[in-house]
Chains A and B, each alone.
Chain A
C-alpha cells in the first residue's frame, strides 16, 4: 500500500533558519521560518514561523531564535514553533499516528539529543522516528540520481555554518567531517555592519538586509580582478529599500538605472564591492579575521583525510546543499578552486541541485518510502522500554 505508507511519514529538515516540513508524499516541503518574531508596529501579538507573512511592516523585526551557533538552545521557542507547525493553524499533523524523519546538526550535543528523544516520543508521541543529518539525506538523494557513484562529498552551507561531509559507500566518514564557522547569518550581519559604517545605519534591519544580500550578492570567479574592476563601479548597483507601504521587498536596480540617485521617495543603498566581498568570506574566512580554511581548501583537506582509494571518487561527486548554495557563482567558484587544488589526474565534478534548500528534505521523503526506513527508526515502544539508549543504539549521528 504505497499511498498509505507515503502519507504516514512526516519529514522535517529542522534548520536554524527555516524548517523544511511536509509529508513524504508531497513533491516539495513547506519552508517555514524557524523563529518567533516581534514587530515594532504590532505590539499586541507575536508572529510564530510563517505568521510573519501577516505582518505589514517588516522593519526593525526582533528575532527570537531556537538555535544558537547552530545548536538548539532555546527549547521554549522551538516548542512553540513546532506546536504551531503541527497545529491546525498550519499543517495540522496528527503526530501520534505518524512517523517522523528529522534532521539535526552534525556532532549534536548529548543533552540536546536526549531532549529531542523526550519531545518526539513523550510530547508528540510519534510512532517511529528516524533521526539523521541533512548531509545523509543529501547523500541518499544523490545516490538515487547517480547510483554509479560510490562516494559523495556534501558541502552543506546553511545559516549557522558550513560543513564538508564525506560519504564512502553511503556511510558518513565522521572523523574527516569538517566545519567552517561561516554561514548566512554571519554574512548578513557582516553586510549590515559594513553598510552601516559606510552608508546608512541598518544594524536593526536584519530581515531587510538578508533580502538585500540574497538579491545583490554573488560569488566572484576571480576576486582580485573583480575588486580592481569595482573601483570603477561597473558592477555597482543601487538597492531600493522597502518602505512597507508600496514596496514589501527591496530590489536591485538595473545597471542603467543604478546612478546613485534615488527617485521620488526611494531610499537606496549602493552595493559595490560588497556584492562579492561578503560571499568571499566563505572562501577566505581570514578576510574578516577568522583563521580558518575556506570551502575549497577544506574540501581538499577533508578528501585527503579519507582512504586513498576513495579520493578520486569523492572529487568527482561533490554535491552542494543548503541556502547559500543558491548564490550565483557558488558552484563555478568551488569547481575552479578545487580543480586547482586537486591532483591533475582526478576529475572534479560539482553538482548543484535545482533547489539546494529542499534537496535534503527530498532525500528524506524518498527514504521514508524505502523499506529500510523501519529498520533505521526507533519505535515508540522501543523508546518506552529502553529510553534514549534505544536512540543511541539505532541512529548514526
Chain B
C-alpha cells in the first residue's frame, strides 16, 4: 500500500457513514441547483444607482402613450401579480384541484432500470462509496471523489 492508501486509512477512522435522509437531501439539493438562473452574485449589486435605474427604466417607452393616458409603472405589475412558483402551486391546488392540472401532467416514473455512472468521470460505474453512496468506476476516481466531494460530508 502506498502513502495515499495509508492516508486514507487514517481518514476513514474519522469518517461516519452518511444516513439515508442526508443522502436524499443532498440529491434533492443537487437537482434544485440545476434550476438556478445564476450561480454568482449580481455584478451590479454594489451600485446604488443601477437598482434605481432598473425600476425606472422603460416605464414610459413612448411619449404619445404617456400623453394619452397614465401608463402603470412596472412596480405596479411587480406588486400586482408577483407570486413565486410554490405560491402558484399552492393556489392551483385550491382553484384547480381536479386533473388535468400542472401536478397531474407530470409524466410517470420510468419503468426502465436505473443506470449508474461514475460521478467523477461519467463512465459506467460498478462501485459505490460506502460513506455517501456516490458512484465511482475506478481506484483513481474513488480517490478523487474522497478528496473532493466526499470530504465535505465527513465530520
Given A65-B37, A68-B85, A115-B81: A301 and B91 within 8 A (CB)?
no
Query: B14 within 8 Å of A by Cβ?
Result: no
B residues in contact (CB < 8 Å) with A: 27, 30-31, 33-40, 42-44, 47, 50, 53-55, 57-59, 61-62, 71-72, 74-75, 77-78, 80-85, 88, 91-92, 95-96, 99-102, 104-112, 114-115, 117, 120-124, 148-149
Nearest residue in A to B116 (C-beta to C-beta)? A287
Chain B residues within an 8 Å CB radius of A73? 82-85, 88
Contacting pair A109 B88 (CB below 8 A): yes
Pairwise interchain contact B43-A40, C-beta atoms closer than 8 A: yes
B106 with A179: CB separation less than 8 A: yes
Partner of B27, one of A83, A88, A231, A289: A289
Instruction: Report A-chain residues with C-beta under 8 Å of the C-beta of B57.
Output: 46, 48, 80
The verdict on A186 contacting B105 (CB below 8 Å), with A43-B44, A75-B81, A284-B110 known, is no
Q: Within the assembled complex, what's the spacing in Å between the Cα atoms of A178 and B106?
A: 6
Among residues of A, the one whose C-beta sits closest to the C-beta of B60 is: A83
- Which of A79, A115, A119, A227 is packed against the most chain B CB atoms within 10 Å? A79
| B66 shortest CB reach to chain A, Å | 12
Known: A65-B37, A178-B105, A286-B110. A43 touches B50 (CB 8 A): yes
Q: Which residue of chain B is the closest to A40 with respect to CB atoms? A: B43
Q: At the interface, yes or no: A230 with Cβ under 8 Å from chain B?
A: yes
| Interface stretch of the complex, out of A237-245, A292-300, A312-320 | A292-300
Q: Which of chain B's residues have a CB closer than 8 A to the CB of A76?
A: 55, 74-75, 77-78, 82
Q: Within the assembled complex, what's the spacing in Å between the Cα atoms of A353 and B80?
A: 39
Cβ of B122: which chain A residues have Cβ within 8 Å of it? 194, 198, 272-274, 277
Interchain CA distance A109-B148 in the complex, whole Å? 42
Task: Using known A-B contacts A87-B58, A189-B34, A231-B123, determine if residue A71 contacts B85 with beta carbons closer than 8 Å.
Answer: yes
